[in-house]
Amino acid sequence: MVTSAASRPRLLMRQLREVMAEPVDPQMRLDNTVKVIAANMVAEVCSLYLKRGADSLELYATEGLNIEAVHNTVLHLGEGLVGLVAQRVQAINLSDAPSHPKFAYRPETGEDPFHSFLGVPIVRTGRLLGVLVVQNQTTRHYDEEEVEALQNIAMILAEVVASGELIDPELIDGDGGQAKGSARLEGTALASGIAMGHVVLHEPRVEVSRLIADDADVELDRLNRGLSELTTWIDRMLSTAEFAAKGEHREVLEAYRMFAHDRGWIQRMRDAVASGLSAEAAVERVHYDMRAQLLSIGDAFWRERAHDFDDLSNRLLRHLVGRGVTAAGEELPKDTILCARTMGPAELLDYDRPNIRGLVLEEGGPTSHVAIVARAVGVPLIGRASGLLVEVNPGDEIIADGDSGEVYVRPQSDVVEAYAAKVQFSARRQARYAAIRDEPAVTRDGHRIELLINAGLDVDLPHLKESGADGIGLFRTELQFMVSAQFPRLNVQKRLYGSVFEVAGSKPVVFRTLDLGGDKILPYLAHDREENPAMGWRAIRFALDRPALLRYQIRALLMAAAGQSLSIMFPFIAEVSEFKAARELVDQEADLLRQRGQEMPEKISVGTMLEVPSLAWQLEALCPIVDFVSVGSNDLFQFMFASDRANPKLTERYDPLNPPMLRFLSHTADICRQFDVPLSLCGEMAGRPLDAMALIGLGFRRISMPPAAVGPVKMMMRSLNVSLIEPVIKDLLTLPDHSVREHLEAFARKNDVVF
């Protein structure tokens, strides 16, 4: 019976499966493999070269060349046509190989009479393992079907080689099996701390184990279903409010959609299934080919699209195997460092946090939601680590420096030793902070400074005791909404706020009402796209336009605070009328609950954040009707300098210790002091010891910061004489300098202020 061209690939796959299952030694299995390939492809030569060491290829099996050349013929990467295939990691198809300038004649092989040449790389997870070659005496070009067939075979051989059945995997590369050496990436430090551990991919790559199809029709149906699920997911995500505005997340999904609807990609996968591969193997085969094509273009845009294509193919594989999208449900090593393109705040909270030492992202900025959560749970975080997912492999040793933004992948021994010493030093420093945890926050000359923490989730609450803080100066109520799949009901909100009071005990807590909008978009609430969301429909503007939403939250707070003191703070107030309108809603809800016989808080204090500069010039009108003021230094800083704090190009351009910024804060402190209105500051500025020293010199006696900053700031403050810093700060306010940081550092050195 004559075998048709259409059925030949599937026949070859079945024959290869039989060869792989034979109970023979590895060399015999290789010999039988090249014989089957040669017979099926009507080739007079089939040869298999495997990579040995860092840059060598050794002939491991052949059908048609001199058998004595096996294990004796060795080529370097780039040497001869075989070496060229390995160097380019691309197929080479020639009708007259000897005429090619890279042709290298090796007399021991006996390949003199063979003209046509087809060589394909053997690659697995981006790692070169060898080269597979077929040759014929006739001068002819191998057709597309033959190239496709040989590439499918190379993929199967890659899995067999990687399994160690044919050769010890550690012999394939000269550095103990790792194709890549050590690498250093530069990112943006988003949450401080040093993490040393091993890579776990947040979205794990799927390892394809079943390569050959039992039934091509069944596999084609599985592939089509997987593609349908994938495109449905992309379209659904793009239609949600969270992705309505422009940004990194939407750009990634747009790239997904571009590839997912590409007919060429889909048809090539279907053709690979028709040739005998499983649906998963077809996705992986075509992925490697298309990725190589995109990277070969040499353009930065297409290199980035290759990264998007990696993500998309991996997501399609997860649809096919029915695997969870993330590694959160898996058993993790105790020194896990998560690596991902991006991550949402709820996704980080899904993990068993005692095993998470650090987080590294290709995207993400200092105001991203996951950065807020990472700081809250004490996980060092680095964002904008470009090229991360191309560089790392699961299980790689990795160091993430959340203080400098540096990432070391497969670090050399001297780097490991240096960071181990850093970690030990940090541990000793933490011990010093722990020793003063319960000591009063009093300066050398007797000034009491309230050191408070910023919080927003259940996981933050233990930090109140662990840090020795005096209370919670900013409880971000919106975080509960951001990590929830739906709008939290009244009892859910009341329960959270009640747990905060329970943990805080007699210590004060300031609850900030919902600061939604801007970059904090909830998928279950409709939100229009804005050109400039940071200064758009957000926070109190959003809340006053939806008063029922704000009243609902105020009601939960009033009920949770029954019999206790309640402090409510409104965000993003730009003029006095907004504060009056918001305070009126508090009064209305309080009256309603009293009428219903609800037990009320013992005391209700209502304050505002000062983060919009315009409010500072209305303080004389605001102070008589407000119970307290809290400066929000993060937003205030970006509005003062018209500087987007999420823009990496501006990260180091402006300094909070700039005379105009300090004069603004001094003006605010003076007005609040005149009206005897309590003043505090919450934000990144409060958590940096040198900046906190400046704030104390300006008259601030209440500052709120991330929990990890309480120890360093208290250490500084207990070594400070307020009477010495106040006149220095006053003199610095009039300087025309970009920053007075160096002046303050000199003061600290001269006066033995501890940092």
**CA separation for the pair 215, 228 (Å, rounded):** 20
Through-space distance between the first and last CA atoms of the chain, rounded to whole angstroms: 86
Q: Are 366 and 188 in contact (CB under 8 A)?
A: yes
Of 384, 389, 352, 407, the closest CA to residue 204 belongs to: 389
CA angle 73, 27, 50 (to 5 degrees): 45
Count CA atoms within 13 Å of residue 107 on its CB side.
Answer: 0
**CA separation for the pair 89, 71 (Å, rounded):** 22
**CA separation for the pair 715, 159 (Å, rounded):** 57
**CA separation for the pair 337, 185 (Å, rounded):** 15
**CA separation for the pair 481, 349 (Å, rounded):** 14
* CA dist 552 → 55, 180, 500, 522, 603 (Å): 67, 55, 18, 17, 19
Q: Are 508 and 567 in contact (CB under 8 A)?
A: yes
- Stated length of the chain: 755
Nearby residues of 373 by Cβ (< 8 Å), 6 or more positions away: 345, 348, 349, 457, 479, 483
Count CA atoms within 13 Å of residue 647 on its CB side.
Answer: 10
Task: Based on the residue annotation, tell me whether 682 is a catalytic residue of this protein.
Answer: yes
**CA separation for the pair 142, 150 (Å, rounded):** 10
Task: Based on the residue annotation, tell me whether 369 is a catalytic residue of this protein.
Answer: yes
Sign of the dihedral defined by the CA atoms of residues 566, 467, 726, 729, in that order: negative
**CA separation for the pair 345, 374 (Å, rounded):** 8
**CA separation for the pair 48, 62 (Å, rounded):** 6
Tokens 């793009």 correspond to what residue?
A: 238
Of 191, 600, 154, the closest CA to residue 402 belongs to: 191
Q: Which of 307, 369, 463, 527 is catalytic?
A: 369
**CA separation for the pair 239, 664 (Å, rounded):** 43
Of 201, 183, 170, 197, the closest CA to residue 411 belongs to: 183
Q: Are 65 and 34 in contact (CB under 8 A)?
A: no
Classified as helix, coil or strand, 424 is helix
The one-letter amino acid code at 403 reads D
Q: Strand locations in 373-441, DSSP E?
A: 381-383, 397-401, 406-409
**CA separation for the pair 29, 19 (Å, rounded):** 7
DSSP label of 413: H
Nearby residues of 232 by Cβ (< 8 Å), 6 or more positions away: none
Nearby residues of 603 by Cβ (< 8 Å), 6 or more positions away: 565, 566
- Reading phi first (left if > 0) and then psi (alpha if -120 to 50, else beta), residue 53 is in left
Tokens 């039988």 correspond to what residue?
A: 32
Q: Are 606 and 565 in contact (CB under 8 A)?
A: no
CA angle 187, 192, 196 (to 5 degrees): 75
Classified as helix, coil or strand, 200 is strand
Sign of the dihedral defined by the CA atoms of residues 390, 391, 397, 402, in that order: negative
Radius of gyration of the chain (CA): 32
Sign of the dihedral defined by the CA atoms of residues 290, 295, 297, 301, in that order: positive
Q: Which of 46, 339, 672, 682 is catalytic?
A: 682
Tokens of 728: 């220095």
Enumerate the active-site residues: 369, 682
